A and B are shown apart, each in its own frame.
Chain A
Amino acid sequence: EPEVTQTPSHQVTQMGQEVILRCVPISNHLYFYWYRQILGQKVEFLVSFYNNEISEKSEIFDDQFSVERPDGSNFTLKIRSTKLEDSAMYFCASRTDREIYEQYFGPGTRLTVT
């Protein structure tokens, strides 16, 4: 069964460094999302992406964050200058254009900023 994959599973970085989290959505999906969960808190929406453009972004998704679909398969989240409070589990999700209610999630990347 097709699934969303994410790499790496765990990333440790120093404060101020740039990180890129990678996702490979399911191949026929057209809508892509990033969510995150800070330990002990709710899963929060970051950004949605369709047709090579951001559709919607949350207040969390400031100028330090960017998303890109550099080729036909990858969907990336870049954090330019990481802060301690960026430590979280980052989930990628995707869906088709027909199943508007169904988002399929990857296993997440745990980002630890030291």
Chain B
Amino acid sequence: ILNVEQSPQSLHVQEGDSTNFTCSFPSSNFYALHWYRWETAKSPEALFVMTLNGDEKKKGRISATLNTKEGYSYLYIKGSQPEDSATYLCASLSTDKLIFGTGTRLQVFP
């Protein structure tokens, strides 16, 4: 059974701080790693889908890296803003289903 873990569970930072979260996943039978941003009462928003070892993806101030050999991914937010406050979920794709971590709840204070 796949187990996806995320750390930390929650994070409180000041506006302007840079931050990063970790997602670890089993490296065997790897297909893809997803990062989602989820605000309450909204649809989880896909940030990145990564498939190749060494992948690095960037969207504005947010970037992610992937290491499939050791089974981890990092999500970085540069210069956090209050609107970045959300829960960040990672999920590993296993056959055709997503196995989620517990999420990291980020709170950015002005």
Contact = CB atoms under 8 A, between A and B. Distances in A.
Interface residues of A, number: 25
Given A31-B96, A33-B97, A43-B100, A4 B43 contact: yes
How large, as a class, is the contact surface on chain B?
20 to 34
Contacts of B32: 101
A4 B42 CA distance: 11
Given A43-B89, A101-B49, A101-B93, A91 B44 contact: yes
Contacts of B43: 3-4, 104-108
A101 B100 contact: no
Contacts of A42: 4, 100-103
A41 B9 CA distance: 12
Nearest to B95: A56
B36 interface: yes
Contacts of B4: 42
A43 B46 CA distance: 15
B98 A107 contact: no
B99 interface: yes
Interface of B: 4, 31-32, 34, 36, 41-44, 46, 49, 51, 89, 91, 93, 95-103
